[in-house]
Chain A
Amino acid sequence: GAVVSQHPSWVICKSGTSVKIECRSLDFQATTMFWYRQFPKQSLMLMATSNEGSKATYEQGVEKDKFLINHASLTLSTLTVTSAHPEDSSFYICSARGQPNTDTQYFGPGTRLTVL
């Protein structure tokens, strides 16, 4: 089956620093990648959708200058949380969709971010 990896699996950082999270599709070409955020006891909330080679589309209320998304290749997308603050602490999950099965989203294992 299709495999999506995320790195790092967890990260602790100081307030004001930037954190980069990588999402990779290991055995398929991901034409579209999605970034979600999940706070404790809440549902996954879509943050943005990125298509390879083009700018990401952000959901309402998500600051594009704070959450920088780059989808430079068919196997890699990155999410950078800039100037992180404690309220950014959350579980960040990516998913990918692409060839050959374009109807299914495959989820990465998630990255737990804690901002002190």
Chain B
Amino acid sequence: RKEVEQDPGPFNVPEGATVAFNCTYSNSASQSFFWYRQDCRKEPKLLMSVYSSGNEDGRFTAQLNRASQYISLLIRDSKLSDSATYLCVVNKAGFQKLVFGTGTRLLVSP
């Protein structure tokens, strides 16, 4: 079983749509959780950290369910510029190493 699992997509949505991505992780001792965005042939960029209480940054909302080992990202009012691959990232328990999911590809069309 992969340490971090995501639906690879692609998710094709029209501009203005709301889209949600899910992610599960296998190590219950994991401590830190993140969503990164990666554009084609570019490095990943931190989108937001994910906190147990849930957190929001503009159109983006992240949620964490430790009991289910489940992380989500909600994007509201999708923009064309949101088209990218979204990576679910978990720190390896006991270390400061990041474990990346394979990513979920989002395509926002006009």
Interfacial residues, chain A to chain B (CB-CB below 8 A): 32, 34, 41-46, 49, 91, 93, 95, 97, 103-105, 107-110, 112
CB-CB under 8 A from A104, the residues of chain B are 46
Q: Smallest CB-CB separation from A106: which chain B residue?
A: B46
Interfacial residues, chain B to chain A (CB-CB below 8 A): 4, 32, 41-46, 87, 96-103
Most buried by A among B32, B45, B46, B98: B98
Pick from A34, A49, A103, A109: contact of B43, CB below 8 A. A109
The answer to whether A42 and B41 have CB atoms under 8 Å apart is no
The answer to whether B101 and A43 have CB atoms under 8 Å apart is yes
Bound complex: CA of A112 vs CA of B4, how far in Å?
25
Bound complex: CA of A64 vs CA of B58, how far in Å?
43
The answer to whether B45 and A107 have CB atoms under 8 Å apart is yes
Bound complex: CA of A32 vs CA of B96, how far in Å?
10
Q: Smallest CB-CB separation from A97: which chain B residue?
A: B96
Q: How far is the CB of A45 from chain B (nearest CB, A)?
A: 8
The answer to whether A44 and B100 have CB atoms under 8 Å apart is yes
CB-CB under 8 A from B32, the residues of chain A are 103
The answer to whether A49 and B101 have CB atoms under 8 Å apart is no
Q: Smallest CB-CB separation from A105: which chain B residue?
A: B98
Q: Smallest CB-CB separation from B97: which chain A residue?
A: A46
The answer to whether B43 and A108 have CB atoms under 8 Å apart is yes
Q: Smallest CB-CB separation from A44: which chain B residue?
A: B100
The answer to whether A43 and B96 have CB atoms under 8 Å apart is no
Q: How far is the CB of B93 from chain A (nearest CB, A)?
A: 14
